[in-house]
Homo-oligomer: A and B are copies of this chain.
Amino acid sequence: MIYNCLIINALLSTGGYVIAVRLIPGFRQKFIDKNRVGKDLCKKNKKEIPESMGVLIGLVFLVVLFLFIPVPFTLGEATKTGSKAATFPHEKFVELLVALLSIAVMMLLGFIDDIFDLRWRYKLVLPSIAMIPLLMVYAVYYNLTTIIMPKFLRTFVGYSLDIGALYYIYMGMLAVFCTNAINILAGINGLEVGQSLIISTSILLFNFIELSLGHQVDAHKFSIYLMLPFLAVSLALWKFNKYPSQVFVGDTFCYFAGMTFAVVGILGHFSKTLILFFLPQIINFLYSIPQLFKFIPCPRHRLPKYDSKSDLLHISTTDFDKNELNMLSRLMVTVLKSLKLITWQETPDGKVKTNNFTLINFVLLVFGPVHEKILTQMLMGFQILCTVLALIIRYPLANYFYDT
């Protein structure tokens, strides 16, 4: 029964891959005609590439799952009677629908963002809007807001703690985090899709491990139902987005991917493990804080600098006057400099040149100039390393904090 549904899901996902692979080249010209294009900045010719292709594969993902809706609920279920048996898993059915609703709304908002190029503050609001249905359904169906405490905290606060409304804020923040985390670790060919491929594979690996251990079978099956089609359509996109990119993915893809991860994390009850799979994104975010929150001047683009002679990428830098920095900024700089996490060149009259604080630039800082293709591979390799680390934390180490 479990495996029947998974096999059908896998077949539908394969169909989704095949269709997506055919649709993308077919729609490339359409995107170019309508000026949905972006410049590929790290290339000699700076060619214009079709943008926002994420919306196309997002639609394929939705259709695959629309067709899958009846599968887990009719195989082995008596439905000919016209009314549902008492055993019908209403909650599971509702979870699937609301997951698709939140993801579809996120895609719509992402595509709107791509078209209208909304300001940063909207990027924080939009995922929260797309999360409302999920939070509402959670409130109606479960309204469970109790979290289990790690062992070392239990003597202080007890075995569990009802955090009430904070739990809803946590879920909303998770969506904001997942969507934007992918959106800011981006800018070189293939990176957005590449990291999403690895995160989704990591989630699938975790789901299958848990299934084999017999833990929370329903929750992990649910996650697999969404992750397999996601992996399939993302692979199709990867085929055209990897170096040298023939298409760009757009904010639509980053939102779609992040929201899908957030939804399976929440409804699959493994949001803490999910966050572990976002380690490179968290590092990138923490490293970016001084620039994102304007402690250090932040240029419009923080992409690496392309050197057309060597065809290699170099760190990109930002220039400013040291007097622009306030006390807190100077403290940050001192810490980052002493940890050798940034470059810092200062002239006697106070002109400063430092690298832009992104994980991409940091990799270039450590390894020196590399080719764009290799840079994406290095960052994907780091993402894989972090998954291994996450699974080590999740399995052997979790015993120290929780009873598993």
Contacts and interface: CB of A to CB of B under 8 A. Distances in A.
Interface of A: 27, 30-31, 34-36, 55, 59, 62-63, 66-67, 69-70, 73-74, 79-80, 82, 84, 86, 88, 90-91, 93-94, 97-98, 100-101, 104-105, 107-109, 111-112, 115-117, 129, 132-133, 136-137, 139-144
Contacts of A55: 108, 112
User: Most chain-B Cβ atoms within 10 A of its Cβ — which of A101, A142, A143?
Assistant: A101
B105 A62 contact: yes
A292 to B, nearest CB: 24
6 contacts: A59-B109, A59-B129, A66-B136, A82-B142, A90-B93, A108-B111
Contacts of A93: 90, 94, 140
A224 to B, nearest CB: 19
Given A55-B108, A94-B94, A97-B133, 12 more contacts: A34-B115, A34-B116, A59-B112, A59-B129, A80-B143, A86-B86, A90-B90, A94-B97, A97-B101, A100-B133, A101-B101, A111-B112
Query: Which secondary structure dominates where chain A touches chain B?
Result: helix
B129 A74 contact: no
B140 A69 contact: yes
Contact of A111 (B70, B111, B140): B111
A137 B100 CA distance: 13
A1 B62 CA distance: 36
Contacts of A73: 140
A74 B140 contact: yes
A344 B260 CA distance: 58
Nearest to A36: B115
Contacts of A111: 108, 111-112
Contacts of A86: 86
A27 to B, nearest CB: 8
B104 A108 contact: yes
Contacts of A88: 90
Contacts of A63: 129, 132
A396 B234 CA distance: 57
A55 to B, nearest CB: 7
A113 to B, nearest CB: 11
Contacts of A36: 115-116
Contacts of A74: 139-140
Contact of A108 (B69, B107, B140): B107
Contacts of A143: 79-80, 82
A90 B73 CA distance: 14
Nearest to A35: B35
A108 B104 CA distance: 8
Contacts of A80: 143
Contacts of A116: 27, 30-31, 34, 36
Contacts of A132: 63, 66-67
A140 B70 contact: yes
Contact of A101 (B27, B67, B90, B100): B100
